[in-house]
Amino acid sequence: DAGITQSPRHKVTETGTPVTLRCHQTENHRYMYWYRQDPGHGLRLIHYSYGVKDTDKGEVSDGYSVSRSKTEDFLLTLESATSSQTSVYFCAIRSGHSPEQYFGPGTRLTVT
């Protein structure tokens, strides 16, 4: 199994509070991704990174920011959480030498 961890695994927070989710990898892979999974939508890309300090937006990036200061860590921040951001968040990694992604275990976020 690819060495990917996500923290926290579960979080309940209130509307308007900031939230940061962490993705940590031990594979030294170049690419890292953040997705959200909602019923009826599959997985949708929020942001991705193609190297340290190199990030780009995905299809549902509004309300989210990311940072990658080290190869192994990719942080997703909700500056001011809203109920529409209640979801399961997955991190994924990909090396530059293989086509497939490998996923972390997911974080279930509930915004009340």
Partner 1 sequence: AQKITQTQPGMFVQEKEAVTLDCTYDTSDQSYGLFWYKQPSSGEMIFLIYQGSYDEQNATEGRYSLNFQKARKSANLVISASQLGDSAMYFCAMRERAGNQFYFGTGTSLTVIP
Residues that bind partner 1 (CB under 8 A): 31, 33, 35, 40-45, 48, 50, 56, 58-59, 88, 90, 92, 99-103, 105-106
* Minimum CB–partner distance for residue 11 and partner 1 (Å): 15
Q: Looking at beta carbons only, is 52 or 88 nearer to partner 1?
A: 88
20-56 b/e (C-beta count within 10 Å ≥ 16 → b): ebebbbeeebbbbbbbbeeeeeeeebbbbbeeeeebe
Q: Looking at beta carbons only, is 19 or 91 nearer to partner 1?
A: 91
Q: Looking at beta carbons only, is 92 or 109 nearer to partner 1?
A: 92
**Beta-sheet strand order (sheet of 4-7):** 4-7, 19-25, 73-78, 64-70
Q: Looking at beta carbons only, is 22 or 44 nearer to partner 1?
A: 44
* Minimum CB–partner distance for residue 16 and partner 1 (Å): 28
For residue 58, the number of C-alpha atoms closer than 13 Å in the C-beta half-sphere is 19
* Minimum CB–partner distance for residue 64 and partner 1 (Å): 15
For residue 108, the number of C-alpha atoms closer than 13 Å in the C-beta half-sphere is 1
